[in-house]
Homo-oligomer: A and B are copies of this chain.
Amino acid sequence: MPPWRGPWAWADRLGNAATTRLLIECPDARGVVARVATLIADTGGNILDADQHTDPDTRRFFMRVEFEPSPGQPASAFESAFAPLAGELSITHRLRWAGAPPRRVAVLCSTETHCLSDLLWRSANGEFAGGEVSLVLSNHETGRSLAEQAGVPFVHEPIGADGKPAQEARVLEALGSAGADLVVLARYMQILSPGAVARYPARIVNIHHSFLPAFAGARPYHQAFERGVKLIGATSHYVTDELDEGPIIAQQTARVSHRDAVAEMVRKGRDLERVVLADAVRLHLDDRVLVSGRRTVVFR
């Protein structure tokens, strides 16, 4: 643990570790909330927070429940009790049991370190209650000292003479060895293959800049500058096979003007990227994001 952790660090984390989160998706049906809530009550749980949503188009039902389980009850007992209901109502679910160890987060980056630096500080100071950065991996050496200062292992996997697929294989192996639960692309400038993406469905988070209107092609900030936009934005999303088209988790914009040269727009863009990526990572680790098709339901 690095010595520069602030005084509040563990207070937050302890507060969250005692709750269980249950995420549900199923076809809309009369009585789902009642059935699920009753089952939790019958197993001795106490609901602290619950959020539901029914998509008006698809009639899919989404629910997030945060509850205190009966003291001493194991997750397996709840799973057994829940299984018949899940079967009956065609429920897909995800359960994160109280007291589970923090999830292991791997951060991938290249030469830019603004997001990496920010994520390491937040992780060390307990801002990600449900996880912690436990690996930094890069195709460059730039991030090494930041990682090592934070006490996080750093792996350097450059693209070598054996080509990009070989490098990706080594990256996947490193992620596997580190037991990564969540992969964060913090300005990692390599495109992952469909095979790599398939290993971590809805568990790879990326950040990219966004503009109104959108600009295709290279050097988007230059294009935005030439077009005289008055806002720039950043979007974080889950990675799918469609480049930068995965389900959106968080977005934010900032004002720019004719006085902002391209370098200044890039700087403001970095400020946005830091905040929006950290927001997405926290929402994911708090189990607040459900993916449905091309969209997310984010229970803030």
List A residues at the B interface (Cβ < 8 Å).
2-8, 11-12, 15, 30-35, 37-42, 44-57, 111-114, 117-118, 121, 125, 127, 141-146, 149, 210-214, 226-231, 233, 235, 247-253, 257-259, 261, 263, 266-267, 271, 275, 294-298, 300
Number of copies: 4
CA A49 to CA B62, docked complex, whole Å: 10
Q: Within 8 Å CB of A41, what residues of B?
A: 30-31, 33-35
Contact at B258–A295, with CB atoms within 8 Å?
yes
CA A247 to CA B230, docked complex, whole Å: 11
Set B37, B56, B143: member contacting A261, Cβ < 8 A: B56
Q: Within 8 Å CB of A298, what residues of B?
A: 230, 257-258
Q: Within 8 Å CB of A7, what residues of B?
A: 111-112
Q: Distance in Å from the Cβ of A85 to the closest Cβ of chain B?
A: 13
Contact at A113–B37, with CB atoms within 8 Å?
no
Q: Distance in Å from the Cβ of A44 to the closest Cβ of chain B?
A: 8
Starting from the known contacts A229-B251, A259-B300, 20 additional A-B residue pairs (CB-CB under 8 Å) come to: A2-B145, A4-B113, A5-B142, A6-B111, A8-B263, A34-B47, A35-B41, A37-B37, A49-B53, A53-B258, A53-B259, A57-B226, A117-B121, A212-B253, A214-B214, A227-B294, A227-B295, A228-B247, A230-B249, A230-B298
Q: Distance in Å from the Cβ of A271 to the closest Cβ of chain B?
A: 6
> Interface centre among A12, A213, A227, by most B CB within 10 Å?
A213
Q: Distance in Å from the Cβ of A298 to the closest Cβ of chain B?
A: 7
Sample (16) of A-B pairs whose CB atoms are under 8 Å apart: A30-B46, A31-B37, A33-B33, A33-B37, A33-B47, A34-B34, A34-B47, A38-B38, A50-B51, A146-B149, A210-B213, A212-B235, A226-B294, A229-B248, A257-B300, A258-B295
